[in-house]
Amino acid sequence: MKIATFNANSIRSRLGIILAWLDEQKPDILCVQETKAQDKDFPINEITSAGFNCVFKGQKSYNGVCIISPHKIENVEIGLDDEPKDESRIIKACVNGINIVNTYVPQGREMESEHFQYKLEWFKRLKKYFDSRFTPESSVIWLGDLNVAPEDIDVHDPVGLRGHVCFNEQVTAAMYDTMNWGFTDLFRLHNKDAGQYTFWDYRAFGSIKRNLGWRIDHIMATKPLAQKCTSSYVDKIPRTLPQPSDHTFLIAELRKE
């Protein structure tokens, strides 16, 4: 069982990359965030023509999430339970008996802003969401762009970046609190070294070449699934480049049984 997550920053402009990756990697599940397409503009025909099922929810210009799988996608739910539902930030489905919760957590903008408080609150609401549907003994994968780098080893400059909306004590506590409901970080389970990133801010000069990265995308699993996880790693496109890259797929592999 191969499960992956990818922040597309527009699924339409990354469709070629996604279809090539699906064809090559043949994952069981690919979750995408920041599809940036309204439902009427979502490239569903291209994806189904490639042999995949896909459920999605988007909005104009921003956000947007989807779940892609060659398998049957069942029990789809969109949005959080209370208002604002943020329908284009969370989509849930069941694939081969595994519950998949794909989230695009609000970025937060500035520490002092209401948007950051909203981000902290979002993690609390997500914990309730898990609590109302599952138990820690259920088979649940929670993955996506969580917009949090929890540890010093998850950013290129822990001193300079401390206090950023994606790297501070409060936001880490908020993420851990939701994780403590019953999730294990599958990537950290298999990788203890620093400097393993999933995101490079292209606004920073030469961020990719200089490897100014962040690990803000995650794949979490409840205990029963974490026990079956054999590996987790970041797949970088294009592969001709050294370590950092433009596009990163975070992958976790689970034993079938």
Partner DNA sequence: ATGGTCGGCAACCGA
- Contacts with DNA, residue ranges (CB under 7 A): 9-10, 12-13, 36-38, 41, 60-62, 106-107, 109, 115, 147, 201-206
Select 12 or 125, whichever has its Cβ closest to DNA: 12
Select 205 or 257, whichever has its Cβ closest to DNA: 205
In angstroms, the first-to-last Cα distance of the chain is 10
Nearest distance from C-beta of residue 242 to DNA, angstroms: 18
Nearest distance from C-beta of residue 235 to DNA, angstroms: 19
Rounded to whole angstroms, the Cα distance separating 95 from 188 reads 24
Look up residue 256 and give its amino acid.
K
Rounded to whole angstroms, the Cα distance separating 215 from 231 reads 17
Task: Say which residues have a Cβ less than 8 Å from residue 169's Cβ, sequence separation at least 6.
Answer: none
Select 182 or 215, whichever has its Cβ closest to DNA: 215
CA of 163: how far to CAs of 108, 111, 190, 229, in Å? 12, 7, 28, 33
Measured CA angle at 64 (ends 62, 65), to 5 deg: 160
CA of 175: how far to CAs of 91, 116, 171, 194, in Å? 18, 13, 6, 19
Select 16 or 195, whichever has its Cβ closest to DNA: 16
Select 30 or 146, whichever has its Cβ closest to DNA: 146
Report long-range pairs for 126-132 (Cβ below 8 Å, ≥24 apart).
126/80, 126/90, 126/178, 127/177, 127/178, 127/181, 128/81, 129/80, 129/81, 129/90, 129/101, 130/101, 130/178, 130/181, 130/182, 131/181, 132/81
Select 132 or 240, whichever has its Cβ closest to DNA: 240
Q: What is the maximal distance between C-alpha atoms in the chain? A: 48
Select 89 or 92, whichever has its Cβ closest to DNA: 89
